[in-house]
Each structure stands twice: as C-alpha cells, then as structure tokens.
Amino acid sequence: MASKILIIGACGQIGTELTMALREKQGKDNIIACDIREGSKELMASGPFEIADATNYHQIEDLVIQYDIDEVYLMAAMLSATAEKFPMKGWALNMDSLFHVLNLAKDGKVSKVFWPSSIAVFGPTTPKQNTPQTTIMEPTTVYGISKQAGERWCEYYHRKFGVDVRSIRYPGLISYKTLPGGGTTDYAVEIYHEALKTEKYTSFLKEDTELPMMFMDDAIRATISLMEAPAENVKIRSSYNLSALNFTPETLAASIQKHIPDFEISYDPDFRQAIADSWPSSIDDSAARQDWGWRHEFDLEKMTSQMLEGIKEVHHV
Ligand SMILES: NC(=O)c1ccc[n+]([C@@H]2O[C@H](COP(=O)([O-])OP(=O)(O)OC[C@H]3O[C@@H](n4cnc5c(N)ncnc54)[C@H](O)[C@@H]3O)[C@@H](O)[C@H]2O)c1
C-alpha cells in the first residue's frame, strides 16, 4: 500500500512541484498538501488540501491523525533574505515547525520525515571551493543558524530516539512553475522572467558571485530518491551535501544571450551580496552519490533552454 504523505508548506517554490510529483507517482489521495495560504490553481485542484500552521503542534497532529499519515515533508520555513529582516520570526518558524514534526516521529505518530537544510549552513570560514560534507560551519545569517541547529537536532533525534529523518542541503533552486520565496539565489529565477519580458535585468548580486545551484526537477528527484532509499543507505542523518551546477550572474546571462542575443544584464548589489559572499561557490556531494546513488541531469545549457521554454508556456510571456 502506498504511504500517506503530509506536505507542510506545500504552496511554496519547492512544495508545489514536490506535491505534484508525488501525486503523479503515488496517487493524489495519498498526498495531503497543507500551508497557511492557498496555492496555485493547479496545486489546489490536484488533490486534498488543508490550511494549517506549521508552528501549531495540534493542527499538524490533527492532520496526521485525520489522514493516517506515515511520512511528513516539512517545507515551511522563512528563507534567507526574509529572515534577515524578521530574525525572531524566522527562528521561531524554522525551529518550532521542525520540533513539532520530529516529536510526532519520536512518539511513533509518523514513521519518516523529510526536512530540507541549505548551503546556508556554511559560513565565511568554510572552505569555499568543493565544500566538504563535514567541515567548518559558522553560518552568519539567521536562516543559516536555524538550518545548522536543525541539522544537529535531526541527527540527535535519529541517534537518541531512532527517528528516520532524512535531509538535503539544497543549493539555490531554479524553477519556472513557481516563484522563489525570498532567498539569496532568487536572481537566478527572476533573470529568466525579465529576459523574456524586457530583455534586461539588474542583478542584486555582483557579476562574479559564484554559487551552487540546481534545476528544480533534479532537486525533486533527489528528494524523492533519498526518501525511497533503504534506511541503512542513509548514513548521514544531519543533512547531505547536494550539487549540480555552479555559476555567476555573468555566466548565467551569457547562457541566456545564446537564446536572446539582445539580453542585457547590469549589477546593483544589495544586502543579499553579503549573504552570498558567506556561502560556498561549489559543493562536494560525493557522499550523496555514493550512499543513495544521486546523479544530476541538468547542466546550465539544458536548464536555460528548459527555463525559457517553460516560462513562455506557463506564464504566457
Ligand atoms: N528554494 C530554495 O532555493 C531553497 C534552497 C535551500 C533550502 N530551501 C529550503 O526548502 C524549504 C522550502 O523552500 P521554498 O523555497 O519552497 O520556500 P517558499 O518560501 O517558497 O515556501 C514556503 C511555504 O511555507 C509556507 N509557510 C510559511 N509559514 C508557514 C506556517 N507557519 N505554516 C504552514 N506553512 C507555512 C508558505 O506559505 C510557503 O508556501 C525551506 O525549508 C527552505 O529553507 C530552499
């Protein structure tokens, strides 16, 4: 019998595509989406949806009981750029929601948990190139501190209480179906929309700021395959490094110019530059490749073609 899955924060950039992918794979009635707000038409029409607050333990517990949930994917969070503006709110949302889900698993109410971490767990003292799985981690953002603490708690709940929690340190994620939710890598999505609409884009990061990134299809595939891996293969219970591509705004713009030769980019860095400067440029994900067979499919050229086609189709630009 297919597992019953609850996706919390299902209306966000990742949650939307994850929900659709899991519904496609496991049947729509097995995938319960919830969020504090309604999502896209497509998401709302595709299966069960409930309004619920991830910081309210009883609301989440009620859904778990009502739908006889086996697995929870916790996608609700406050992202890097927004959390710098609302530090205490960001900390409370990111930590309270995680504890609620970990405690549901500890008490045997759900059997498996997915919780995403981020490259934001790293900081300025971390080796920047090919950042190892295990290394110095001194994050300087509220978001990064919450993800780092979250990783420690995931590992603790696994070691101490046997909770089957699995996690990925996502790089910046790029998608055309949904818009990003207030992160430092949002420029890499906005740039495609603006390239199609106005053939111009002003980047809030400098031209040579190299960051690890990934096309959404790869991220969704990674997430589902980590959750499907036999428990004994999931050797890391804090969070796995995961990598696909690394690029700068300048190289991204050049890949767009191959399709839209008149596209022009300019640069006007803001507060997000300091966040980006504290993060790695590239990531060593050999543990994920070895432990559960991770392979990425999208390189920069393939992603750019897909993004431009996808935006035209979905957003009628
Ligand atoms: N998108 C990225 O590039 C990226 C990179 C690294 C890590 N992540 C992590 O992946 C997860 C999902 O990110 P995303 O980009 O989809 O974020 P998002 O901001 O697009 O979506 C988050 C969703 O959570 C919902 N939400 C907020 N507060 C809630 C609450 N109290 N209760 C219920 N729902 C609530 C929001 O309405 C939103 O739909 C987060 O943990 C994020 O930190 C994302």
pLDDT tens for 276-292 read: 999 999 999 999 999 99
Q: Are strands 211-215 and 245-247 parallel, antiparallel or unpaired?
A: antiparallel
pLDDT tens for 186-243 read: 999 999 999 999 999 999 999 999 999 999 999 999 999 999 999 999 999 999 999 9
pLDDT at 287 (0 to 100): 98
Please work out whether the CB of residue 33 comes within 6 Å of at least one atom of ligand 1: no
End-to-end alpha carbon distance in the chain: 42
Q: Domain 77-317, what fold?
A: Rossmann fold (3.40.50)
CA distances from 131 to 91, 128, 154, 161, 185 (A): 25, 6, 21, 30, 18
In the predicted structure, residue 1 carries a pLDDT above the cut 80: no
Please tell me the distance from the alpha carbon of residue 39 to that of residue 34, in angstroms, as a whole number. Answer: 9
Q: What's the 95 CA to ligand 1 centre distance in angstroms?
A: 13
In the predicted structure, residue 2 carries a pLDDT above the cut 90: no
Instruction: Output the DSSP codes for 141-176.
Output: SHHHHHHHHHHHHHHHHHHHH---EE-EEE-EEE-S
| Mean pLDDT on 40-56 | 97
Q: Which residue's alpha carbon is at the smallest distance from atom 15 of ligand 1?
A: 13
What is the band of 46 on the pLDDT scale with cuts at 50, 70, 90? very high
| Mean pLDDT on 123-147 | 97
Please work out whether the CB of residue 9 comes within 6 Å of at least one atom of ligand 1: yes
Please work out whether the CB of residue 188 comes within 6 Å of at least one atom of ligand 1: no
Per-residue DSSP letter, 43: H
Q: Which residue's alpha carbon is at the smallest distance from atom 21 of ligand 1?
A: 12
pLDDT at 295 (0 to 100): 97
Please work out whether the CB of residue 173 comes within 6 Å of at least one atom of ligand 1: yes
What is the band of 180 on the pLDDT scale with cuts at 50, 70, 90? confident
Cβ contact 199:272 at 8 Å: no
Mutate to test the pocket of ligand 1, among 8, 32, 75 (most ligand atoms within 8 A of CB): 75
Please tell me the distance from the alpha carbon of residue 83 to that of residue 77, in angstroms, as a whole number. Answer: 9
Please tell me the distance from the alpha carbon of residue 183 to that of residue 115, in angstroms, as a whole number. Answer: 17
Which residues lie closer than 8 Å to 66 by C-beta, 6 or more apart?
none
* From 143, 187, 192, 240, active-site residue: 143
Please tell me the distance from the alpha carbon of residue 298 to that of residue 295, in angstroms, as a whole number. Answer: 10
pLDDT tens for 148-164 read: 999 999 999 999 999 99
Please tell me the distance from the alpha carbon of residue 126 to that of residue 118, in angstroms, as a whole number. Answer: 14
pLDDT tens for 31-44 read: 999 999 999 999 99
pTM: 0.96
Active site residue 187: no
Please work out whether the CB of residue 77 comes within 6 Å of at least one atom of ligand 1: yes
Q: Are strands 5-8 and 31-35 parallel, antiparallel or unpaired?
A: parallel
Give the residue extent of every domain in the chain: 77-317
